[in-house]
Structure 1
Amino acid sequence: MNGSEQNLIEALKEIADELYPNMIFFAQKLVQTPSISGTEGKLADLDIAEMQKLGYDEVFRDAQGNIVGVVNGTEPGPTIMYNSHMDHVSPGDPANWLGYDPYGGEIDVCAVDTRDKKPDQAECIHGRGASDVKCGEAVQIYTGGLLLKLREKGFPLKGRFLFTGVVQEEPAEMVGMLHLLDQTFPAKGLTYDAMVSSEATSLKIYCGHRGRVEMLITVYGRTSHGSAPWLGVNAIYKALPLITRIKDELYPSLPSDPELGQASVSLNIIECSPGALSIVPDRCMLSLDRRTLPGETAASAIAQIQKIIDDLAAQDPEFRADVAVKSAVETSYTGLSYEAAKDMDPWKISPDHGFVQAAAAALEALGQKVEYGYWDFGTDASKTCGIDRKPTIGYSPMQEQYAHTPYDKCRTDFMKTALEGNAAIYLNATLQGPETYKKVEWK
C-alpha cells in the first residue's frame, strides 16, 4: 500500500467516525417509520431529506415513488448503484417481540449471532425492517455522504455513485426495480455499470440466489350436493395424485447447484370452490412456490407441471387441470399500478469476476475479513444480474436470520464496518478497467 492509498484509508475511517452517530440516529428514524409495501411515502420523504442534508448533487423521486440520489465524481468513470428497498413486511403480533416495540427503533446490548454463529453480545437497533433493510439503507445513504466529504477534502472520485430506494420489493414482483431501471433511468439519461445490494449478508460478499416462480394449478371437477357425492366429481380428490407426484417424483428430480443449493418446489396454499360444506367442490387451487436455478425458467418449471397434468389426464378421463404463473396488481403510494408476473430470475456471479475481486480487494485493504455467501431468499438483484446481467453483489451489516422475524435487529458495530466497506468498494471498483464491468455469464 503506497502513501496516497494509506492517506485515503485514514481519511475514509476518520469521516466514518464523524458520520457514525448521525447515521445510527437516521437508521432509528427509518425503523420508527412504518412502510409496509404500498405505503412507503413517509420513508421516502425521510430518505430524500437526509440525502439533501448530506449534500447529494441531485435527489429526485420518480412517478412510482422510487427515489434516487446522485453523487458525481471529479473524473469520468463507471456508475455504481447502491440499492435498498423501502418497504417491509408486517410486524405480526406485537406480543411476539419480547418487550420491543416493532416500530420503536430501540438500541440496547443484546445476544446476537456472530459471523461464525457463536453467541455473543453486541449493541443493536431493534424493530421491523432493521435487518430487512433499513439499517443497510441508512448505511448506503451515508456512504454517499462519506464520498462527498472525501471529495470536499480534495480526494479524486471517479465515476458516479447512485443510491436508489425502490418501492414494493417484498411482494416479489420487482415492480419498483423494473420501473426504475426500464422507465425512470432512460427518461433521466441514467445508466449503471454495477450494483451493490443492501440485503442482509453479515458483512460477507453475496454472489447470488435462486429464482422464484409462483404457480397456480387449478384442478377441475363437477359440483353435486354434499349428501350425494357420487353425483359429482370432487376436485380435491382429483388433486391428490397430482400433489403426490409433485412431492414424490418432481421434487427429488430437481437439479442442484454447488453454490445455490437445490431447486425446490413447495405446495403452500390449497383452496377450493364453491367452498361450502354441502357442495362437492368443482375447483381445487394449488399455489406452488418453485425456486429455480440458473438455466431454469418459468416456462421450464411450468412445463414440468404440465407433463404431470398430461400424464394424469391420459390415465383418468375425468381429470382436468391447468397451470399458470401467478400475477398480481401492485399499486404504489403514488397511485401507479402494475400487473406483474410472480417470476424472479435466478442469478450468480463468480467470485473471480472483476467486480467481485475489486470489492474483495477493497475490504481486505481495510483489514476486513472477506467471505462469500449466497442468499436463501430472493432480491431485486434478479433484475440487475438475472435479467440485465450487470455485475451485482450483496454487502450489508444486516444478518439474514433476523429478517421477517420478531427478533428483527441489526448490529451497530457492523453498520460502522459496512459504511467503511461500502465506500472502499466504490473507490476501488471505479479505478478498475472495463473488464470489471463485463456482462455476467453462467452455465
Structure 2
Amino acid sequence: MKEILDSALVDKIKGLGEEMFDDMVAFAQKLVQTPSISGTEFDLSELAMLEMKKLGYDEVFRDDQGNIVGLVRGSEPGPTIMYNSHMDHVSPGDVSNWQGYDPYGGTLDICEADNQDKTLKEQTQCIHGRGASDVKCGEAVQIYAGGLIAGLRGQGVPVKGNFMFTGVVQEEPAEMVGMVHLVDKTLPARGLDYDAMVSSEATSLKLYCGHRGRVELLVTVYGRTSHGSAPWLGINAIYKAIPLIQKLKDELYPSLPKDEELGQASISLNIIECSPGALSIVPDRCMLSIDRRTIPGETAETAVRQIKDIIAGLAAADPEFRADVVVKSAVETSYTGMSYHVAKDMAPWKISTEHGFVQASQAALEALGQTVKYGYWDFGTDASKTCGIDRKPTIGYSPMQEQYAHTPYDKCRTDYMKTALEGNAAIFLSAAAQEKEAYQKVTW
C-alpha cells in the first residue's frame, strides 16, 4: 500500500476544505431547494453543471439521457475514479408531517441529530428538506471534492489519474436506467472509462461495502368469474391465492439463505390487487406484487424458480389452481424524452474490506485522523451496476445518514459534510496513486 498522504498534503486538503465549506453548504441548500422528482431533473442538472464549471472542472457535459459528467484531469497518468450521485428524489409526501420545515426550503439551523452510530442525539447544524439525506448533500460534497482536487492541482500538488463526477437520472425507480446508459453507452462513446466508483448514498461517514439485490416479482393467480350472488359458479382467484401466500410466508421465507455481511435474503408481499375488481363479480385474477431481496449467489432466475416450484406443487394438489410468476418491468422516460423498457432487477454485491481499493480508502481516511468503520446498506443503490454487474471496485462514503432517507425528517449534518469533503478528496488521491491490483475485479 503506497502511503501518499503526508502531513503537508493533509494540511493542504484541510485548508482548502475549510475555505470551500461555506460555499459547499450554500450549494447543497440550492440543490435541496430545486425539486427533481424522477424524470424532472433538468433544473438540478443545470445547477450542478454550472457549479462544476465555477469550481474549475476541465470538462462538463450532459448526455442524451440527461445524465451529467464532470472531469478533473490529473497532472500525471493514472486511473479514473468515478464519484456518483443520483439527481432525483422521491415525493415529499404529506407536507403536514414535516414539523414546520418546508420540504424544498433547504433550511439551515441547529437541531437534534443522531451521531454516527445512532447511539446519541447531538445538537448540530443541519440542512433540512427532501433529498438532503438522499442524496443532495452527498452530491454537493462530491462535486466540491472534485473542486478541491482541482485546487490542489493548481497549487502544484501532483495529481494522478482523473476525478470523474457523474450525476445520473432516475435512480429512485430502482432499475439503474440512468447508470446503465451512462456506463454502457455514454462513457464508451466519449472514449471514457472508469476504474472504481465511490457512491454518495448515505453511510454516516462509514465505508460501505455492499448490499443485497432487489427483484420485483408479479405472481398472477387465475380463477373464473361469476356473479357475486352465485359465487359457487366461479373460481375465486383471491381464495386460490391464499395457500400460495401462506407458503411464501411460512415455508419459502424461512428457508432463504443468509450472507455473513449482508444479512438474510428476504421476501415481502407488498401489494394485492384483483380483477375485474367489481363488488358483484367473483375475481378471475389475483395479482401479488413481491419484493425479493437477494444475496450473492442468487439471481432473478433463482427467485422466479422458487415460486414456480411452489406453484407446481399447489397445481398438482388442486386441479383448479393456476398461476404464473414473472419479473416486473417498466418503461422509464427521462426528462430528455429517452425511454427504456427495463426489468426491475438489481444485482447483489459486496467488496472485501481487504480489497486494494478499500484499503487505499481506509488509509486515506486514517491519514486525516478519521476513525474508519465499515457497514452495508439495507436498501439498494446504482452500485448494483458498477460492482454487482461490472465487478468494478465500489464503495460508499457519505455524510448523510440512512435513517433519514425518504422520511419527513430528511436532513444532513454540515459537520459531517466537511469531514466527507476532506475524506472524498483524500480517498481519490490515495486510491489513484495505487498500483493496478487496487483495481482488480471484485469477486465474492
TM-score by length of 1: 0.99
What per-residue deviation string (whole Å, max 9, x for no partner) do you get for residues 39-92 of structure 1?
000000000100011111000000000000000000000000000000000000
- Residue 18 (structure 2) aligns with: 17
- 3-state DSSP of counterpart to 1:385: helix
1:425 aligns with 2:423: no
> Structure 2: any 5+ residue segments left out of the alignment?
none
Shift of 1:3: 10
Q: Distance in 1 between matches of 2:54 and 2:229?
A: 71
- Which residue is equivalent to 1:399? 401
Partner of 2:272: 270
How far is the alpha carbon of 1:361 from its aligned partner? 0.3
**Residue 40 (structure 1) aligned with residue 20 (structure 2):** no
Counterpart residue number, 1:210: 212
Q: Deviations over 1:198-237 (max 9, x none)?
A: 0000000000000000000000000000000000000000
C-alpha displacement of 1:116? 2.8
Does 2:179 match 1:194? no
Once the two structures are superposed, the pairs formed by residues 327-342 of structure 1 within 5 Å of their partners are 327-342=329-344
C-alpha distance in structure 1 between counterparts of 2:17 and 2:54, whole Å? 16
Q: Match for residue 303 of structure 2?
A: 301
Q: Deviations over 1:7-57 (max 9, x none)?
A: 111111110011111100000000000000000000000001000111110
What corresponds to 1:101 in structure 2?
A: 102
Counterpart of 1:65 in structure 2 is: 66
Q: Distance in 2 between matches of 1:194 and 1:283?
A: 46
Task: Give, as a single letter, the amino acid of the residue that structure 1 aligns with 2:72.
Answer: V
Asked if the contact 2:196–2:393 (Cα under 8 Å) also holds between the matched residues in 1, the reply is yes
Q: Check whether the contact 2:62–2:68 (CA below 8 A) recurs between aligned residues.
A: yes
Distance in structure 1 (CA, Å) of the matches to 2:426 and 2:336: 35
What is the letter of the counterpart of residue 385 of structure 1? Answer: C
Q: Deviations over 1:122-171 (max 9, x none)?
A: 10000000000000000000001000000000000000000000000000
How far is 1:121 from its partner? Answer: 1.1
Structure 2: distance between partners of 1:431 and 1:166? 27
Contact 2:4-2:430 at 8 Å conserved across structures: no
SS at 1:374 equivalent: strand
Q: Equivalent residues in 2 for 1:1-400 (5 A)?
A: 5-117=6-118, 118-400=120-402
> Following superposition, which runs of at least 4 residues in structure 1 exceed 3 angstroms of deviation?
1-4
- TM-fit CA distance, 1:258: 1.0
Tell me how far apart the structure 1 counterparts of residues 356 and 430 of structure 2 sit (CA, whole Å). Answer: 11
**Cα 1:143–1:3 shift into 2, 3 Å:** closer
Q: Which letter maps to 1:103?
A: Y
The residue type equivalent to 1:125 in the other structure is: I
Quote the Cα distance in structure 1 between the aligned partners of 2:117 and 2:280. Answer: 56
| Separation (CA, whole Å) in 2 of partners of 1:273 and 1:108 | 50
Q: Which amino acid aligns with 1:348?
A: K
**In structure 1, what is the Cα distance between the partners aligned to 2:133 and 2:183?**
25
Secondary structure at the aligned position of 1:207 is classed as: strand
How far apart, CA to CA, are the structure 2 residues paired with 1:423 and 1:348?
23
Find the aligned partners of 1:388 and 1:315 in 2 and give their Cα distance. Answer: 43
TM-score w.r.t. structure 2 length?
Answer: 0.99
Number of equivalences: 442
Q: Output the CA distance in 1 between the equivalents of 2:88 and 2:97.
A: 21
Letter aligned with residue 272 of structure 2: I
SS in 2 for 1:427: helix
- % identity of equivalent residues: 76
Cα distance in 1 between the residues matched to 2:347 and 2:228: 44
Report deviation, 1:197.
Answer: 0.1
Q: In 2 relative to 1, CA 320–167 (structure 1 residues): closer, same or farther, beyond 3 Å?
A: same
| Inter-partner Cα distance in structure 2 for 1:426 and 1:243 | 48
Contact 2:5–2:430 under 8 Å retained in 1: no
Alpha carbons of structure 1 residues 4 and 255: separation in structure 2 relative to 1, 3 Å: closer
